Amino acid sequence: MTTPFADLDAHGLNLQAVFDVQDLPADVRATLSVDSIAPFRQLLLVGNYGGALWQQLKSAEMAGEDPIDTFSRKHITAWLRRHMPKARFHVVYPGPQFIGLQQLGTLAGWHHPSPFMVGINAQWGSWFAYRAAVLLDADLPCTPLLTGHSPCESCVARPCVSSCPAGALSGSFNLSACLGYRQQPQSACRDRCLARNNCPVGEGDRYTDAQIAYHYGHSMAVIERLAKSAA
Ligand code: B12
Ligand code: SF4
Ligand code: SF4
């Protein structure tokens, strides 16, 4: 069946959730500043899972500071202009305003917490991310919540925990142990997270090594920049 989002799917932007703004919790509405820029009636959350976006990006140009943001913004705004030329919209993310993407993912049913803090669900494991949040003045059908339990609830062996070389997952997540280890020159986690790689859930949607290295290389650069400015 063709969905209104088929064009986004074709670009690898293959997760979409539509919320009516009035149904969002007050704290979420506040971070979106939705009440000050009314009258937007809906919020569209866009993400990607698996390797489709990476395939698309490879054939587009990976140029500029933030090629994934640029690619996502370009295709989502083109989709909006094509499908609802009269609707006003405001792209909140990517953008300067902070919004809690995992909180929105929880409302969509995409996100459950995992020991390594990247969200997880039973379908795509942890192999997904958020690409855009757009306020709209539109009447798209709201998407049903993705139902299902966290796979972590029934995972007895917890291979993610034992495979973290920094022991960062032994209790509640120890971000400084993780970041300290990642920054060591001989670290096995400069361009990957061994814990995430060793989680068996969503194996069919696992990113390629190149995609993993790209994302973790990017976060490594941010982490090193922050560490330098704090020193
Ligand atoms: C700041 C940030 C980081 C910081 C650290 C987080 C911190 N606590 O300081 C750094 C730079 C280390 C980081 C790294 C990565 N991040 Co990050 N990060 C964010 C960001 C921008 C804000 C998180 C935040 O501060 N939330 C606010 C606080 C108040 O929320 P909170 O409820 O206390 O915490 C929630 C989350 O923030 C999260 N959390 C808390 N601590 C940490 C620590 C880490 C390492 C992560 C990943 C999440 C996380 O869990 C909480 C419950 O939901 C979000 C995007 C967003 N706008 O939400 C992405 C985000 C959480 N990151 C994401 C990812 C994928 C990563 C990376 C794996 C790299 C990458 N881009 O592929 C890495 C590697 C992790 C690692 N082990 O080093 C994804 C997660 C996708 C998912 N499926 O859940 C997000 C949602 C970005 C996105 N566009 O999709 N990240
Ligand atoms: S290995 Fe088990 S506990 Fe760890 S993230 Fe995967 S399902 Fe959850
Ligand atoms: S990146 Fe490495 S150190 Fe950090 S949680 Fe993952 S496995 Fe542990």
Name the residue of 128, 155, 156, 164 to mutate for ligand 2: max ligand atoms within 8 A of Cβ. 155
* Residue 2 backbone phi and psi in degrees, to 5: -80, 130
- Residue 198 contacts residue 120 (beta carbons within 8 Å): no
Name the residue of 174, 181, 212, 215 to mutate for ligand 3: max ligand atoms within 8 A of Cβ. 181
pLDDT tens for residues 12-55? Answer: 999 999 999 999 999 998 888 765 666 799 999 999 999 999 99
User: What pLDDT does 37 receive?
Assistant: 60
Lowest mean pLDDT among 30-34, 65-69, 98-102: 30-34
User: What's the whole-number mean pLDDT along residues 81-108?
Assistant: 94
User: What pLDDT does 42 receive?
Assistant: 95
Lowest mean pLDDT among 32-41, 184-193, 197-206, 216-225: 32-41
- Give yes or no for residue 119 CB within 6 A of ligand 2: no
CA–CA gap between residue 12 and residue 71 (Å, rounded): 10
- Model confidence, pTM: 0.95
% of the chain surpassing 90 pLDDT? 84
- Say yes or no to pLDDT of 172 above 60: yes
Amino acid type, 147: T
The pair of structure tokens assigned to 203 is 């194996």
CA–CA gap between residue 159 and residue 179 (Å, rounded): 20
User: What pLDDT does 228 receive?
Assistant: 87
- Say yes or no to pLDDT of 61 above 80: no
